[in-house]
Chain A
Amino acid sequence: MKAIWTMAVREWRSMFLSPLAWTLLGVLFAICAYMFGSLVQQYLLRQLQYQAYGQGMGGGLPLTEWTVTPLLGNTAVLLLLIIPLISMRLIADEKRRGTWPALASSPLSPLQIVLGKYLGLLLFLGVTVLLIGLLPAMLFLYGHPDPGQFFSGMIGLFLLAATFGAIGVAASSATDNPVVAAVLTFGALLLLWIVGWLGDSGAEGAGRILGYASLIDHYEKLLQGIVSTADLAYFIIVSVAGLTFARQRLLAQRVEGF
């Protein structure tokens, strides 16, 4: 356990020692701030219209629904683009830089290596999610957003990022070229994103399975403030599957000796 933690911290530190992580965070935050600013602007405008026309209808225009939910929904798209860039180096880069034999011959088991790398990534993603969460959190100072829906949305964002990351780790273990790993991750994530479209078109049986596989449906329920064990389990199962794949890959490579 301690070995995993040491490795996670080492990984996390090395991310923040490179300008890539800082730049990604800066760009991500600027885009999110812009989107959030325009959403709040729209809300304020609609609120005025609403007060003028729709008085006395159920207490007003839902704030969280109009600002936080779309922000987190759009942030998911940005994470889809950014996480492959972060996760690509995790394992593939070690192989390319030639540090892999040292790691592979260390007393660490493949599972420990995968978990250590993944935990390091999770620490980074945690920082990212907290940073983005600052934007909607500002609303609490000036209005009455729904705290429950806000927190379930934030949990959703973190789970989504964690799932993206696990898939990234899996892709990074499959190849020794970081760029290939990034492309693989991006492809897999995009596929998981759009796989539900077929399910939506009304097909039965297979359609329902595809609908279940779709990332976005599970995420949207959390954004709505619905916390369901089915959705939490989905994220955990996909993450565990990704990590297991990476572990199996490393195990096979270690035994086969390359």
Chain B
Amino acid sequence: MRMNRSTRLNLRTQNLLTGLLLALLFIVAAYATNRYPRQWDWTNSGRHTLAEQSVKAVQAFDKGLSATVFLQEDKDRRREISELLEKYRVINPKLTIQFINPDSNPALARQESIATYGTVLLRANNKSEKITETTEESVTNALIRLQKGTVKILRFLTGHGEHPLSGEERASYQVVAQLLRGEGYQVQELNLASEEAVPADTTVVVVAGPAKSLLPMEVERLEKWLQAGKGRALIMRDPRTQSGLEKFLLTQGISFQEGVVIDPVSRLFGAGPTTPIISQYDPSHPITKDLKMPAVLAEACGINMEPTSAPNGPTRTRILAGADRGWLEAGDISSGTVEFNPDKDLKGPIWMGVTVQEKDFRLAVTGDSDFASNAYIQYSGNDTLFLNTVRWLAEDESFIAIKPKKNMDAGLSIPGRTAQFLFLGALLGIPLILVGTGVVIWSKRRRK
């Protein structure tokens, strides 16, 4: 072909156009394959596969769903969260994932009242759910709540020295309140001395260890709500206090055993003898059946409960027991030394938590309120115990617990000699053979 200027220019343009066209094609292919991926998990424990419940939960949002993650510059955390959410996106490509730095976008963070880094805001059909803990379990449950779309309100009684809902102190319930909000509950305070009655939209009333007795008027208001048949309450009472609710609880067959539970086993774990370890959970009750870790109470009293008298009466379950080798110390414990006194003290195990259920009426009573405070909530099973109790009271016991997958990929035992032999063989032997072969081939060819 004869080349002149114009044919050359022609060829160049043609080449450029073909290049652009091809580039466009690659971009479209990249977009399409990334937008609609198919994914398989090849690990033998299925580590990267979402549980069936999660798949169903995210598939329900066929009109779209958005996840906004409020996170500062934190690569590892970001990767972790995005990997988890990405699994949901593979199942439902309508899910959009967005990361926002709350520090550089404070207005938006305030508008959505984002309190902690790593909060995920899920939004669909003008409703939203916030989660602070990013595990498959919490995301899936948030999706289920989002689908249902009702917010349940928890009201914590105040005015009698109960554990406050905010503050950094050891006794405060700040951490627990945060956990509950993360679960999608609204957490509020309730002052029955000033309110005429328990508000109608209340799901659960929590009485968290009053230091002094409730006023008779308050007890009356609470009882009225509870006896309407739909009341749900969690009553936590510490030893050596009077809550004023004892009379009402007696009508439910519940009475407190005065004194402090002593558990010598706690010593083994470095705790004092007045922090009993809950060693027995009821294996069939929704609150305790999936609990694996023992809970640790701090200064608890015992609870006695009469069995149900009427055949169609309420279901009464004793869910927590501990201090198998301990006792309920009736005497004074301030001296610092205690001793089992068979005449006065009650031998373990001691019951420390009970529940009563009759149709819509649900009641949970524990002999201690400190186990859910900032100082103790981190201990082994305490947080799960508290959250499960609230979930049961709020009728969220269908809350899905996703069990961690068993890791099948583990274990290695190489005898020391073999390991050394293999290591040296791989490090020196094979490379020397490789390089040697190269040298032999090269010298042979050179000699030719």
Contact = CB atoms under 8 A, between A and B. Distances in A.
Asked if A pairs with B, the answer is: yes
Interface in A13-56: 16-23, 25-27, 29-30, 33-34, 36-37, 40, 43-44, 47
A152 interface: yes
A19 B426 CA distance: 20
B431 A143 contact: no
B269 interface: no
Interface stretch (A76-84, A167-175, A181-189, A220-228): A220-228
A138 B422 contact: yes
Given A22-B435, A252-B11, A226 B48 contact: yes
Q: Name which of B8, B404, B407, B408 has the most chain A CB atoms within 10 A of its CB.
A: B407
B427 A148 contact: no
A256 B5 CA distance: 11
B423 to A, nearest CB: 4
B13 to A, nearest CB: 12
Ranked nearest first, the 9 interchain pairs of A and B with the lowest CB-CB distance are: A22-B438, A60-B410, A148-B42, A143-B412, A233-B33, A146-B409, A33-B426, A26-B434, A230-B37
Contacts of B411: 47, 60, 63, 143-144
B344 interface: no
B427 A152 contact: no
A29 B426 contact: yes
B396 interface: no
Given A138-B422, A224-B48, A47 B412 contact: yes
A123 interface: no
A104 interface: no
Contact of A58 (B15, B404, B433): B404
A62 B42 contact: no
A214 interface: no
Contacts of A200: 75, 78-79
Contacts of B90: 228
Given A19-B438, A22-B435, A212-B30, A229 B37 contact: yes
Interface in B419-435: 419, 422-423, 426-428, 430-435
Interface residues of B, number: 66
A234 interface: yes
Contacts of B18: 248
A59 B426 CA distance: 30
A151 B406 CA distance: 20
Contacts of A233: 29-30, 33-34
Contacts of A40: 412, 414, 419
B360 interface: no
A109 interface: no
A30 B409 CA distance: 27
Q: Name which of A22, A62, A138 has the most chain B CB atoms within 10 A of its CB.
A: A22
Interface in B274-297: none
Given A147-B44, A255-B1, A17 B11 contact: no
Interface string A234-258: 1001001100110010011001110
A200 B74 CA distance: 9
A225 B37 CA distance: 15
11 contacts: A17-B441, A27-B431, A47-B412, A58-B405, A62-B409, A143-B413, A152-B42, A200-B79, A201-B73, A229-B39, A245-B19
Contact of B410 (A44, A61, A241, A251): A61
B376 interface: no
Contacts, number: 184
Nearest to B412: A143
A59 B410 contact: yes
A18 B433 CA distance: 15
Contacts of A19: 438-439, 441-442
A135 B426 CA distance: 8
A139 interface: yes
Contacts of A228: 37-40, 90
A248 B441 contact: no
Interface in B1-51: 1, 3, 8, 11-12, 15, 18-19, 22-23, 26, 29-30, 33-34, 37-45, 47-48
Contacts of A229: 33, 37-39
A63 B22 contact: no
Contacts of A47: 411-412
Contacts of A37: 423, 426-427
Contacts of A227: 39-42
Contact of B3 (A65, A204, A245, A257): A257
Contacts of B71: 202
A203 B441 CA distance: 53
A120 interface: no
A256 B427 contact: no
A241 B26 contact: yes
B44 to A, nearest CB: 5
A165 interface: no
A64 interface: yes
B407 A58 contact: yes
Interface string A176-202: 000000000000000000000000111
B304 interface: no
B11 A255 contact: yes
Contact of A26 (B12, B39, B73, B432): B432
Interface in A115-157: 135, 138-139, 142-149, 151-152
A30 B71 CA distance: 42
Nearest to B8: A256
A178 B182 CA distance: 59
A174 to B, nearest CB: 13
A234 B33 contact: yes
B409 A145 contact: yes
A226 B101 CA distance: 29
Q: Name which of A40, A44, A59, A226 has the most chain B CB atoms within 10 A of its CB.
A: A226
A252 B15 contact: yes
Given A30-B430, A252-B12, 7 more contacts: A25-B434, A29-B431, A144-B408, A144-B411, A148-B44, A202-B73, A228-B90
A30 B38 CA distance: 37
